[in-house]
Structure 1
Amino acid sequence: MVFKKMLSAFGVGGPSVDTVLANPNTRPGLALDGQVNLLGGDAPANIEQVTLGLVTRVEIEGGDTEYAGVMEFHRMVVSGPLQLAPKQQLAIPFQLSVPWETPITDVYGQRLRGMTMGLRTELAIARAVDKSDLDQVNVHPLPVHERILEAFQRLGFQFKHADLERGHIRGTQQTLPFYQEIEFFAAPQYAQTIAEVELTFVTGPHGVEVILECDKRGGFLSSGHDAFGRYTVSHADVDRVDWTQVVDGWLRDTTSHYGNLRASGFGAPQGYPGHGYPTHGHGHRGRGPGVGGVVAGAALGVVGGLVAGELIEDAFGDDDGGDGGDFGGDFE
């Protein structure tokens, strides 16, 4: 009996957990439905808590280096203390809300190169090794996101890469400790002015703040620099405007001003504090909160606990989602 208890403390013959999503596809502001399936081990087990958390890979700057970490950015408790009998099966249904600012991972069925997202389940077991499960989640754009991305495509921009940067964009309603950058190679008609464009959405229940960062080419007697623009749109406007014309206007407005993060063009003008530019480690965005639950590299860290490295590699493999270009086909 003592030997069995010792093995149980090391996780041998203990309970197991498996989370099943009704549908792994969702959108910002919606929900993920499913159930957590528990299976008792060889001996009774006292379960302290069952939690769910959304986790993703984030780029983190530290001094002169930049590395990737895995961050949990949204958590829900699905069960408090309970006792699990040997070999007992227990299903716990759940509905997890998806934050409005959750980054987009998939567009029209194509995974954005550089993006990962998972739902982690943690089973906290008294006097034993905790168990966990990790399931891939696919976050699709809201209609207004789709229209803006379609407009970039129609204007001839080619998708390059997407990632998440730890930090906060000053002057926005951002609540998560990171923001998404969707990067494009410049379309031919803009190539003399712009090398690349980075697009960020800060989404809320009523609308979206759109931040553009244009890598502006230098001239014969001038060096290149970054130009910034911020524009606000409503979810209600999704079918009311010509988005290709709107995005073209944003780009022309943004590149006409050096380093000035301004709001003009389509959408309600917003005042911008400070000097008008966001700044972070690259000199253009505001630093966010402390590292908190982020751990570097392939290791494991998250807010509120550790994620097993092998589980992260299973769900967050090295699938780059293609070689850039478009989002996996026409937007028609």
Structure 2
Amino acid sequence: MVFKRLLGSLGVGGPTVDTVLHPGAVLPGAIVTGQVELKGGEADFDIDQVSLELLARVEVEHYGGESEGTVAFDRFTVGGGFRLAAGEQRSVPFGLTVPWETPITELYGQPLGIVLGVRTELAVSGAKDKGDLDQLMVRPLPAQEAVLEALGQLGFGFRSADLEYGRIGGTGQRLPFYQEIELTPGPQYAHAMRELEVTFLANPGGMEVVLEADKPGGFFSAGHDAINRHVVSHDGVPHRDWKEVVDAWLRQLIATHGHHTVPAPYEHGAPYASHGHDGHHSHGSHGTPDGHHGGHQRSGPSTGTVVAAGAAGLAVGVAGGLVAAEVVDEVGDFMEGDEE
């Protein structure tokens, strides 16, 4: 998807920009490549800087409810310091390393309704203007896919995926938002939880997996949320029995009362451990955007994305063809709204 836009602040006759990302989804922590195509206007212009910005459409929870906004989560300078002659065509190639925590936008080639974009900004003759905006597609890391596949084998089904503005307390989170993947429980876990939310926080050494279960109440107790956190390495993913590993995580999540610590297999700034918290929130929609405990408001599928689990693993299902159309609308709204 490519958008061409005349640089508004320069008026008619100014240069145009067309950013083209090389096709295909990128992995978190990997390099996305492409080129910025510039075409000179009716006069010569000094191109001071060519910059690219990574954007995400996120949900923000507050006491008045919930709203959506656009967050820039990384920025790169890819060129500049040259004169673009009238009518001249010039290509500026680039390679950007996307952050390890970049959320996944697709699973098995099917969109999840997460909207990311790459926006081009030019600093031209002392004036700055937003230019082209293109959709960025991200596929899961092997460890992320292994966890999701195991959940599918255990009978879980995807309900929706969204991005929540805020921080997860006690983790190594770096971005100002995090991804929540909401799942319906498998039959053997349905008595103990109404919903499971999964968050991945990846870094070069591995990733944290944050699990939150919405537990039903009993005759004499109200429903509450249970949270635990696990750390896995990127190494040796194909050699682990992920179904067994994830089942153990879930059983700990169901049974946990208090705090559990497990030695972390790698370091990222400081060693991490696997924790279990029963009914005590410490992050984002699991609390408030600043990471403090608050009223928990669960949001439904913002884009109508529905995913079903198959017996042989996860299979992305579309309910009545609604998902694809709504995802396209969401992308269009994101692109058009950000240009204004």
With the shorter chain as reference, the TM-score category is: 0.7 to 0.9
Alignment CA distance shift 1:81-1:227 (3 Å): same
Deviation, 1:169, is 1.2
Count of residue correspondences: 295
Distance, in Å, in 2 between the alignment partners of 1:166 and 1:46 is: 38
Provide the rounded CA distance (Å) in 2 between the counterparts of 1:35 and 1:75: 16
Pair 1:232 & 2:200 matched: no
1:139 aligned residue: 138
Alpha-carbon offset, residue 8 of structure 1:
8.1
Question: What secondary structure sits across from 1:199 in the alignment?
Answer: strand
Corresponding position of 2:169: 170
1:185 corresponds to 2:188: no
Q: TM-score, normalised by structure 1?
A: 0.80
How far 1:131 moved relative to its partner? 4.3
| Alpha-carbon displacement from aligned partner over 1:36-77 (angstroms, at most 9, x marks no partner) | 110001111222211011111111133333211111101100
Is there any run of 5+ residues in structure 1 with no aligned partner, and where? 1-6, 290-317
**Preserved contact between residue 61 and residue 285 of structure 2 (Cα < 8 Å):** no
Partner of 1:43: 43
> CA 1:215 to 1:183, structure 2 compared with 1: closer, same or farther past 3 Å?
same
Matches within 5 A, 1:233-272: 233-258=232-257, 260=258, 262-264=260-262, 270=273
SS at 2:12 equivalent: coil
- Shift of the 262–75 alpha-carbon distance from structure 1 to 2, 3 Å rule, reads farther
CA shift at 1:237, angstroms? 3.1
Counterpart check, 1:152 vs 2:151 = yes
CA displacement at 1:121 relative to structure 2? 1.0
Distance 1:273 1:48, change over 3 A: farther
Q: Could you tell me whether the CA contact under 8 Å between 2:122 and 2:128 is conserved in 1?
A: no
Q: How does 1:201-216 map to 2 (within 5 A)?
A: 201-216=200-215
SS in 1 for 2:210: strand
The counterpart of 1:284, out of the listed 277, 284, 287, is: 287
Query: 5+ unaligned residues in a row in structure 2: which ranges?
Result: 1-6, 267-271, 293-300, 316-340
Which residue pairs with 1:62 in the alignment? 62
Q: Aligned-pair distance for 1:275?
A: 10
- The letter of the residue matching 1:31 is I
TM-score scaled by structure 2? 0.78
- Measured after TM superposition, the shift of residue 23 of structure 1 is 2.7
Identity, % of aligned pairs?
47
Alignment partner of 2:104: what SS? Answer: coil
- 8 Å CA contact retained: 1:229, 1:263: no
Structure 1 20/9 Cα, relative in aligned 2: closer, same or farther at 3 Å?
A: closer
The alignment partner of 2:239 has SS state of coil
Q: Do the aligned partners of residues 136 and 319 (structure 1) sit closer, same or farther apart at CA in structure 2, a change above 3 Å counting?
A: farther
Aligned residue number for residue 337 of structure 2 = none
Correspondence for 1:130: 129
- Judging changes above 3 Å, is the alpha-carbon distance between structure 1 residues 204 and 15 closer, same or farther for their aligned structure 2 residues? same
2:60 maps to amino acid: I
Cα distance in 2 for partners of 1:266, 1:173 equals: 13
The CA distance in 1 between the partners of 2:228 and 2:250, in whole Å, is 8
Question: What's 1:325 paired with?
Answer: 308
The 3 A distance-change label for structure 1 pair 230 and 262 is farther
Counterpart Cα distance in 2 of 1:156 and 1:116? 27
1:324 CA displacement = 3.2
